[in-house]
Amino acid sequence: MVYHKTEKVLEKQQSRKRKILNAARELLAEKEMGNASIKAIAKKAGIATGTFYLYFRDKDALIDTMLKEIYKELLDLIKKERAPYTNGFDKLEATMKACINMFMSKKNLARILLDLTPQNNAVFNTKFSDIINDLIRLTKIDLDELIEQKLIPEQDTQVSATAFVGAFREVILAWINSDEPLDAEIAYQTIINFNLRGLGKS
């Protein structure tokens, strides 16, 4: 005999999975990431440690799901912000602004996506570097287009895109980790200018 879950139970389970993911996000975003043990995550989510394994096969599965989710949120926002533009520079700038806005308002996401003090978790590191590489890949597409349109000089766009993302990441990270809120408006314009000039925007 098989029992069927009621709507109420399904909702409760979904909510629990959500709570686990949120707890993991919060704990992973903290300065001392060592605290993101299964026990701590379960506690923060308000469940017993064993319960965790009813929702995720193992810790790797959680990390994987969480990173995919966060990255998707970022890409969705970027897509939305870029939509109004056709000019290559505008699109790049919109991308940067979308990232800045998201990371400023959700610092925990930024710490997880950009920070360089990763976990002693193989899956985390792999996934993480996949994401950075994907951001570089997307940037490269824009750069190739800009060259196509002769808006920037010929260059190794793989390298440029890597530099572009690296510069951006480092600045956002410094931003997030600094206590004194630097002058956002100036810093903001500085990194955007740096990157666009770096490409050779004439």
Partner DNA sequence: ACATAAATTGAACCAATATTCATTTTATCT
Partner DNA sequence: AGATAAAATGAATATTGGTTCAATTTATGT
Cβ-based nearer residue to DNA, 1 or 116: 1
| Residues making up the chain, counted from first to last | 202
Residue 197 binds which entry of DNA, a second copy, none, with Cβ cut-offs from 5 to 8 Å by kind? a second copy
- Beta carbons of 191 and 96 less than 8 angstroms apart: yes
CA dihedral of residues 182, 78, 127, 172 (deg, nearest 10): -10
Contact track, DNA, 13-32, x by CB under 7 A: x--x----------------
- Alpha carbon distance 113, 176 (integer Å): 12
Q: Does 163 bind a second copy (CB under 8 A)?
A: yes
Q: Does 187 bind a second copy (CB under 8 A)?
A: yes
Residue 108 binds which entry of a second copy, DNA, none, with Cβ cut-offs from 5 to 8 Å by kind? none
**Residue 40, helix vs strand vs coil:** helix
Q: Which amino acid is it at 43?
A: K
Q: Which listed range, 56-64, 70-78, 95-103, 108-116, lies at the site for DNA (CB under 7 A)?
A: 56-64
Residue 33 binds which entry of a second copy, DNA, none, with Cβ cut-offs from 5 to 8 Å by kind? a second copy
Q: CB neighbours of 39 closer than 8 A, spacing ≥ 6?
A: 49
For tokens 């903001």, name the residue: 188
- Beta carbons of 130 and 68 less than 8 angstroms apart: no
> Least distance (Å) from DNA to the CB of residue 43?
9
Cβ-based nearer residue to a second copy, 55 or 169: 169
Q: Dump the DSSP string for 105-149.
A: H-HHHHHHHH-S---S-HHHHHHHHHHHHHHHHHHHHHHHHHHHT
Q: Does 165 bind a second copy (CB under 8 A)?
A: yes
Q: Does 9 bind DNA (CB under 7 A)?
A: yes
Cβ-based nearer residue to a second copy, 6 or 117: 117
- Alpha carbon distance 59, 200 (integer Å): 44
Q: Which residues bind a second copy (CB under 8 A)?
A: 32-34, 116-122, 125, 128-129, 136, 155-156, 158-160, 162-171, 173-174, 182-183, 186-187, 190-191, 193-195, 197-200
Contact residues toward DNA (CB under 7 A) are: 1-6, 8-9, 12-13, 16, 34, 36-39, 47-54, 58-60
